[in-house]
């Protein structure tokens, strides 16, 4: 990652004037947004509004065609998934990216196994430490899952979501980006996930949540941003927004 340093700590990441094209389709139109630690930002809008594209720009999956990205106040000249992870930005994808054949710790530490000892390229995993750290991560979220040896394919949707979130918390991230974390979950399971998100925010972690469930977004967010056809139409504290104003902004109306 290459940066132009100004050394500002006011935000974790800031995107300015971001535009993104898919061939002739302009998915983002001059989007500007800043994300802060210890804040939950709800990102809402209809399908095709540009929410996931914006998320993928912020986590390094996509390179913007126009605009700039700043991390901790420093302008970024090169930006990738690896760079985002290095500065503490983690992602929970909508498809979760879990391996059904592995157990709970195996998924939480997938591709990040802790070695007990290593000899050159050969190593042996510290399974006890992996189990203990998995237990601690889930406990910090207030999540409950069966015995750690249980294969993920046997778990409920809410438990699978909790495992994906726990995996994102490895390495103490500053910001976690979540795409539809409560989709297809029952009322009780969704409540558990929303409570886990608020716990993360209380620990000083910034969270972005994309969701089509306005009740969930209003319940968990400190700040709401709406998008319509690749543009931001509203960016205000959640406590100050009326539902009718929120719905109008989602349909493209700006005050």
Q: What is the pLDDT of residue 21?
A: 97
Distance CA 131, CA 153 (A): 18
> Which is nearest to 221 in space by CA: 206, 235, 238?
238
Confidence (pTM): 0.88
The whole-angstrom separation of Cα 2 and Cα 109 is 28
Among 170, 163, 168, 129, CA closest to 145: 163
Helix axes 187-202, 127-141, angle to 10 degrees: 100
Give the tokens for residue 168: 């994102």
Looking at residue 78, its pLDDT comes to: 92
Fold of 3-97+172-250: Rossmann fold (3.40.50)
- Please report, to the nearest 10 degrees, the dihedral formed by the alpha carbons of residues 245, 247, 251, 254 taken in order: 10
d(C-alpha 88, C-alpha 185), whole Å: 28
List the one residue out of 60, 49, 44 whose CA is nearest residue 25.
Answer: 49
Any idea which residue has 């991390």 for tokens? Answer: 71
- The dihedral region occupied by 186, where left means phi > 0, alpha psi between -120 and 50, and beta the remainder, is beta
SS (H, E, C) 141-155: HCCCCCCCCCEHHHC
d(CA 221, CA 239): 9
What pLDDT sits at residue 115? Answer: 46
Rounded (10°) angle between helices 127-141 and 157-168: 110
Q: Domain locations in the chain? A: 3-97+172-250
Helix 157-168 and helix 187-202, axial crossing angle in degrees, nearest 10: 20
Ramachandran angles phi, psi of 18, nearest 5° = -75, 125
Q: What is the CA radius of gyration of the chain?
A: 19
For every one of its 255 residues, what pLDDT tens digit does the chain have, with 9 covering 90 and above? 555 544 445 689 999 999 999 998 999 999 999 999 999 999 999 999 999 999 999 999 999 999 999 999 999 999 999 999 999 999 999 988 899 999 999 999 887 655 454 444 444 467 888 888 999 999 988 888 876 788 999 999 999 999 999 999 998 999 999 999 999 899 999 999 999 999 999 999 999 999 999 999 999 999 999 999 999 999 999 999 999 999 999 999 876
Q: Residues 68, 171, 221, CA angle at the centre, nearest 5°?
A: 60
């Amino acid at each position: 990652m290459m940066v132009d340093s100004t050394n500002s700590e006011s935000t974790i990441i800031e995107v300015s004037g971001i535009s993104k094209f898919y061939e002739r389709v302009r998915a983002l139109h001059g989007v500007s947004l800043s994300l802060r630690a210890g804040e939950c930002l709800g990102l809402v809008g209809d399908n095709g509004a540009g929410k996931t594209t914006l998320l993928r720009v912020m986590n390094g999956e996509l390179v913007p065609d126009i605009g700039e990205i700043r991390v901790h106040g420093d302008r970024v000249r090169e930006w990738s998934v690896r760079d985002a992870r290095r500065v503490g930005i983690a992602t929970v994808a909508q498809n979760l990216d879990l391996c059904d054949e592995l157990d709970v710790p195996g998924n939480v530490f997938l591709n990040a196994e802790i070695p007990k000892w290593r000899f050159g390229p050969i190593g042996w995993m510290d399974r006890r430490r992996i189990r203990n750290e998995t237990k601690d991560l889930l406990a910090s979220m207030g999540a409950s899952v069966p015995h750690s040896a249980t294969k993920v394919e046997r778990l409920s949707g809410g438990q699978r979501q909790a495992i994906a979130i726990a995996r994102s918390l490895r390495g103490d991230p500053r910001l976690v980006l979540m795409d539809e974390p409560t989709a297809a979950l029952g009322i009780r399971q969704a409540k558990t996930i929303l409570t886990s998100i608020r716990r993360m925010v209380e620990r000083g972690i910034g969270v972005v949540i994309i969701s089509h469930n306005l009740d969930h977004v209003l319940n968990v967010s400190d700040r709401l941003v709406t998008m319509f056809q690749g543009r931001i139409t509203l960016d205000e504290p959640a406590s100050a927004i009326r539902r009718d104003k929120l719905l109008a902004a989602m349909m493209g109306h700006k005050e």
